[in-house]
Chain A
Amino acid sequence: NAGVMQNPRHLVRRRGQEARLRCSPMKGHSHVYWYRQLPEEGLKFMVYLQKENIIDESGMPKERFSAEFPKEGPSILRIQQVVRGDSAAYFCASSPSADSYEQYFGPGTRLTVT
């Protein structure tokens, strides 16, 4: 059973471009969480999705950031018009159910904005 997969592992974007980060949860997992880790800081919750639904987006910046988890395919975190402050590591985690406290993390995507 493959673990949580994220791609790309490293992404470089110029200011103003769009960044798309993908997360494929573990097989059988329909719950996905996205976290952001700024340099020298802990992880901060961004959004929680179930298949085709956003359940909690309380940690998402109000502008430029969006997330989806379609019926088919990976979850996508999209950042439009990136700025240097978006440079961070973005992690996704998946779990098999909402009340499960088993959350498995992917290896992360390191986004660098130049």
Chain B
Amino acid sequence: AQTVTQSQPEMSVQEAETVTLSCTYDTSENNYYLFWYKQPPSRQMILVIRQEAYKQQNATENRFSVNFQKAAKSFSLKISDSQLGDTAMYFCASCGTSYGKLTFGQGTILTVHP
């Protein structure tokens, strides 16, 4: 079984600044994947970044990077140079490697202010 916890219901940041969203998880799987998804007001689920648990190197995608702490079961998302278009709900998620049944956290609403 997997659980994902996001302890920050809401966050805000000024445009061009950096913000970090927190996520912790628990799993009984030996290997697993971790994800951050963005859900803007359109409600479309957009994959932001993903991490394979057996890879120690933190994933990066342009302005988005993660801090993956496997022992602590922590998977935070850092957004650099925040843009107004980053305003959205952000979900942390995990799945085992046998198939892609995703377990989502409760979400963090991020607001970027001009």
Contact = CB atoms under 8 A, between A and B. Distances in A.
Nearest to B99: A98
Contacts of B44: 105, 107-108
B102 A45 contact: yes
Given A42-B107, A43-B91, A33 B101 contact: yes
Contacts, number: 64
Interface in A9-67: 31, 33, 35, 41-45, 48, 55-56
Nearest to B50: A101
Nearest to B97: A99
Contacts of A43: 45, 91, 93, 102, 104
Contact of A48 (B47, B101, B103, B104): B101
A108 B43 contact: yes
B114 to A, nearest CB: 26
B79 interface: no
A108 B95 CA distance: 21
Interface string A93-114: 1010011110111011010000
Given A101-B52, A105-B44, A108-B43, A42 B99 contact: no
A35 B98 CA distance: 18
Given A91-B45, A101-B33, A107-B44, A35 B102 contact: yes
Interface of A: 31, 33, 35, 41-45, 48, 55-56, 89, 91, 93, 95, 98-101, 103-105, 107-108, 110
16 contacts: A35-B102, A35-B104, A42-B104, A42-B105, A42-B106, A43-B93, A45-B103, A48-B101, A56-B101, A99-B99, A101-B35, A101-B50, A101-B100, A103-B47, A108-B43, A110-B43
Interface of B: 33, 35, 37, 42-47, 50, 52, 91, 93, 95, 97-107
